[in-house]
A and B are shown apart, each in its own frame.
Chain A
């Protein structure tokens, strides 16, 4: 029988240890994890980008549910362990689950330190530790009130920057004279403070909090000198302490942290501990690199290898605030036996400092230009004698040995053991080795196989250069495909930033996101116009000049410059009156071709542009509106005759199709959306190759989606079953809204599904009724502004300049 390994805690350290364990000996243990948080393992370092709105929770998940299933792990989410019975070797959770263990790992992490002042337990006082804290802050930020962040360290500043991005009025209160004094010297701390102020964040240093004011909710903060400032939200980010409560009740040896040896063993031979909750040789740890080192040691232990030991090394720190470049490593206190080299460039906001002892780097602080951080850090760890390069050392690696090297050459010159990814402790040779051995070709590949640049991401540039170096010209760096040549940002980044920074117009977006062209190109402008419409319904004013001609003039351009006109026929139903009007229009305007389309509509081909308003006026008069056959939007809902006529029909498929089309017409989507409703599984409406299809059955409605019958042929995938028409419509509208919010411009539904996965779509639309309702409501809201017939608008004079020449000077003559 397998040994049973129980882990208390599901953070980054035990997650990494399990990865290593499964690499070495995947079948050795039956693994059970208790997680006090109700979720999977995610990258805690990246909570700050989530708070600032630059990333979503899904982006920072390290192990999704599938990973636990694949490895046969039992994961108890939201189960806090209350007791460890060391005699009988069992653990029990607060909600009554008991599991026995052969070996136990305690990884309870840390708890935020709350300064013991009056008012610390008022509503509106939060800590910054996990996703729940981030969610609390994001909700508070919606009121756009005043936030006070107590603590000017790494965590406090990231929280402040995030809340500032969310639109709050933020003050950072720090008890020390300069910010981040544990990682920065006063000069860099000063520059950092100035940069925070430049963003609109107020900074108070040497400020000692006396109490938090308020009756039930926080209203302000009072300082030792008697002064006060108002506050609607107070974030305590003064530090963390090891979470040792459980270990203490189990009577394990505990000082500040749970005492472990260099092999992660506690005072009980069957129990290990790692992460922020432990103490090794009197020291505790809060940065990720040493925690991952612990994880490697623990994994080795669990596989029976006693040789691996944990040795703390100097770790480098980066601040994850977009736009602030800051790097520090090692020891930078002044001393008689130390020398320093300082470079300042005030106008460029650059400050670099190296601290040397016996000609070897023992510490570095970089601000503004941090590109050489890893190089200095590498020399620090290897204790390199710098005498030879002393004169140019501070200028960085590019200036060693004559002329500046190109950036790739600088990376090529890094020694094999140079650390590239500080978060995950990945050195250069490990990355280049994996690229060669496993045939990796993209940044995502490297992240998946080595974890390099997969945490905070600040070494992404270095990893890309290593890919280029190893693969040569065959490396295509566009792992995140930029939208177009006007930007380096991908579609997803742009969409996220539109929301996070509340970008409400294309010119504003291009300014804020530093577009490289003055007014975009034919690729990005239509995409941005769609993203704006989808994000700010009712507020954003459509920019016709950023639309393709078909959507600008609401007809389909043909090869000869004429247009085709398709009136809407709800659910494919028409009438003698409509057909008569169409025939009259075709005669009156001498329309050369009339054709029935695949979507059960009639297409009038070869209409001259100047005739369009006249054609539309006549069709409008007969009660017909635009069929949107040109739109990245809802095109057609095709139906069969269903239970009205057909002897096999199980439901009123025509009626449902008409309802769907009347409800959903006018909506803009990332790419065209075609739908169909079939009255029985014989599927005469061909619903199984549409973007969304409904197959009626006796018991209700089977909803399928993500089909295609164009460049790609693809059958639909089943989404779910609905019992009633109303339910079917709610599901389809919610699904369409999810697609409207996640789809990249011109990405058809089947490609969207392939990218985001069925699991995430079903989680939002099928399993969680609250979420489904949320998307449905947003669809309904956006429809309020979408259902205006564009033909009628133009018949009434809108965009009249489109349909007439500026000037006419005779007509082109035939040659003779």
Chain B
């Protein structure tokens, strides 16, 4: 198994937006910030399971669309008074192509 799997190109994700990658271990949200930084986290808020990919992206943070929890895209940590974290997934970008760490897609697939 290769270490990195290509998932698409950076232009396919809107700035300050996200797209999803479906994997055997669940949806992973891939975010593109206003400054073209890319981050991937699991698309599931630890609070009530909200799809974080559908939230508003500001700086390197996203606000969950269901109950406004805010997560750091860099660390996956909930911000402010809320406690919790989401799994982050390593990405690699080469010439605009986005590669996701294969291990992240298999983590629970054994």
A→B interface (CB under 8 Å)? 517-522, 525-526, 544-550, 553, 557, 559-561, 801, 805-813
**Which B residues are in CB contact (< 8 Å) with A559?**
48-49, 66
Q: What mask results when residues 70 to 89 of chain B are scored 1 for a CB within 8 Å of chain A, else 0?
A: 10000000000000000000
B→A interface (CB under 8 Å)? 5, 7-8, 12-17, 19-27, 30, 33-35, 48-51, 54-59, 61, 63, 65-66, 68, 70, 105, 109
Contact A561 B63 (CB under 8 A): no
Contact A811 B16 (CB under 8 A): no
Main SS at interface, chain A = loop
The residue in chain B whose Cβ has the minimal distance to the Cβ of A552 is B54
Contact A806 B66 (CB under 8 A): no
Contact B23 A809 (CB under 8 A): yes
Q: How far is the CB of A229 from chain B (nearest CB, A)?
A: 45
Contact B59 A526 (CB under 8 A): no
Contact A807 B8 (CB under 8 A): yes
Task: Give the complex CA separation of A526 and B63 in angstroms.
Answer: 12
Contact B50 A561 (CB under 8 A): yes
Contact A809 B30 (CB under 8 A): no
Q: How far is the CB of A106 from chain B (nearest CB, A)?
A: 59
9 closest residue pairs by CB, A with B: A522-B63, A806-B19, A545-B16, A522-B56, A549-B54, A807-B7, A549-B65, A561-B51, A808-B22
**Which A residues are in CB contact (< 8 Å) with B35?**
518
Contact A812 B25 (CB under 8 A): yes
Other A-B contacts than A545-B57, A557-B51, 12 sampled, CB-CB below 8 A, are: A519-B16, A521-B70, A525-B56, A546-B56, A549-B54, A549-B55, A550-B65, A557-B65, A801-B19, A805-B19, A806-B13, A812-B23
**Which B residues are in CB contact (< 8 Å) with A517?**
58-59
Q: How far is the CB of B93 from chain A (nearest CB, A)?
A: 14
Q: How far is the CB of A732 from chain B (nearest CB, A)?
A: 32
Contact A519 B59 (CB under 8 A): yes
Q: How far is the CB of B61 from chain A (nearest CB, A)?
A: 8
The residue in chain B whose Cβ has the minimal distance to the Cβ of A557 is B65
**Which B residues are in CB contact (< 8 Å) with A553?**
54
Q: How far is the CB of B40 from chain A (nearest CB, A)?
A: 10
| Complex partner residue of B24 from A526, A544, A813, CB under 8 angstroms | A813
Scoring A546, A560, A561, A806 by chain B CB atoms within 10 A of each residue's CB, the highest score goes to A806
| Complex partner residue of A520 from B12, B30, B58, B66, CB under 8 angstroms | B58
Contact B16 A522 (CB under 8 A): no
Task: Give the complex CA separation of A632 and B68 in angstroms.
Answer: 17
**Which B residues are in CB contact (< 8 Å) with A560?**
49
Task: Give the complex CA separation of A557 and B55 in angstroms.
Answer: 11
Task: Give the complex CA separation of A526 and B58 in angstroms.
Answer: 11
Contact A805 B21 (CB under 8 A): yes
Contact B63 A518 (CB under 8 A): no
Scoring A522, A526, A807 by chain B CB atoms within 10 A of each residue's CB, the highest score goes to A807
Given A545-B17, A812-B26, A522:B66 Cβ within 8 A: no
**Which A residues are in CB contact (< 8 Å) with B24?**
809-813
Contact A526 B56 (CB under 8 A): yes
Q: How far is the CB of B92 from chain A (nearest CB, A)?
A: 14
Q: How far is the CB of A779 from chain B (nearest CB, A)?
A: 28
Subset of 30 A-B contacts with CB under 8 Å: A518-B34, A519-B16, A519-B33, A519-B58, A521-B56, A521-B70, A522-B63, A525-B56, A545-B14, A545-B15, A545-B16, A545-B56, A550-B65, A557-B54, A557-B65, A557-B66, A560-B49, A561-B54, A805-B21, A806-B12, A806-B20, A806-B21, A806-B30, A808-B21, A809-B5, A809-B24, A810-B22, A812-B22, A812-B24, A813-B24
